Amino acid sequence: MSEQPVGDVATPESGPERSRSVWAAIAIAVILVGTVLLALLAAPSQTLNVAAAPAAPADTNVTKSPDIPAFYNVRDIPAQLPGTLVKSELVPGSPEGTKAYRFIYHSTDLNDAGTLVSGVFITPTTSAPEGGFPLVTYAHGTTGANRHCGISLTPFEPNTPGFQGMSQILPLVQEGYAVVGTDYQGMGAPGDPSYLVGQIEGQNTLDAVRAVHNWQQNINKDETIIWGHSQGGHSAAFAAQLAPTYAPELSIQGAAVLAPGLLPSLPLAVQGLLAGTEPSGQTGFVMLIAASWSATYPDQMSPEDILTPAGIAKLPIVNRLCGSEQSDAFMDAPMSTYVKDPVPAVFYDLATQNTPGAVKTQMPIVMVQGMKDTTIIPQLTLAFNKLLCQTGNTVDFHIYPDDVHSSVVVNSRGLIQQWMQGRIDGQPAPNGCTNQ
């Protein structure tokens, strides 16, 4: 494996505070990443001789939208410190050698107001090593944007959001990690949707660690790794970026970012798709974003700003269904039936606000990308690697030429686990940025 250099990207140095100057810096970074992306799309990529892994098993495809158990009906609970546990219960059906819980904990929203968030915690049933199990805080990929789509609801029922998550979580448990996975705000426990709202995703991911530390006795509080794929890669990048200021007491050794869902090119991509005359699989993603961002930023964007009347009429689908049940509902017509043309300026603004990488992350990162990915633009991940390097990060980046969005998780598993163990053992982190 080797790290892949890409074209020069200049980025500003700035603190992590959410200030006007930071957003200006991110805007500049987004423009520059977009410039690099255009160049990369026209240039051949260096590749690695790695056999492709099989795509994800069919039973991990999300085709069901689970009902919400009574456990999640929590309201009118006074705000407490982020990471405070509200309640927990065992989840039946956990594989042999593991024990799983669903739980609800306190976190914060975009305005630092208290929220309730649910999640899943799974641990080996073997005796913990001296000091306790190392902990992975797992950030899941796209399952939907409503309460039915949290991974803690039905983690062991095939074709549900939770089962998809378990296909990535259980290999980590088999390696001796305890794993905590946030559902994200508004998925499971009541709350506004937070799909691709980086700050909320990151805070939820970090507060899940705090909750486990406050609740479980067999966890090593000095051994923690952030892990995320797709939307979860976006979440993991934000969690790593926010950790020094939002949760400075946590000892986190690094972040694994797999095929991250990045936003700089999203409005341009949507604008291009709006010219199409055939249905697009990306329409469902835009609908998720429209529901989430209009709820999170009501003073900046309303559903009517981005969606047509036909799109508005189908918003209830986004608020109830998950996975392909949701996305397939928009495969009956071109994207322009549901999404306004041209893409409004506010969509560009919010994509900029929710793009990580313009400030230095105070922990090492390992990042992987499959070059046959049709969900994430691979060249954008290459450009994001360069952006991270120019911002002063320590990044170990690997590309897989024959892997798609799901199979890169399987094919990179050994490399990621070796990297994680190295960070837990205190070894110096490999840094491909030194070669650029």
pLDDT of residue 346: 96
Contact 368, 258 (CB under 8 A): yes
Interacting residues of 134 by C-beta distance below 8 A, sequence separation 6+: 176, 177, 178, 220, 223, 224, 225, 424
Contact 34, 412 (CB under 8 A): no
The pair of structure tokens assigned to 135 is 């902990």
Distance CA 280, CA 7 (A): 31
Q: How many CB atoms lie within 10 A of CB 211?
A: 26
pLDDT of residue 272: 92
**Span 110-147, pLDDT tens digits:** 999 999 999 999 999 999 999 999 999 999 999 999 99
Q: What is the pTM of this model?
A: 0.89
Interacting residues of 371 by C-beta distance below 8 A, sequence separation 6+: 45, 47, 378, 399, 400, 401, 402, 403
**Span 229-257, pLDDT tens digits:** 999 999 999 999 999 999 999 999 999 99
The CA R_g of the chain, rounded to the nearest whole Å, is 20
pLDDT of residue 57: 57
Residue type (1 letter), 252: I
Place 262 in a pLDDT band, splitting at 50, 70 and 90: confident
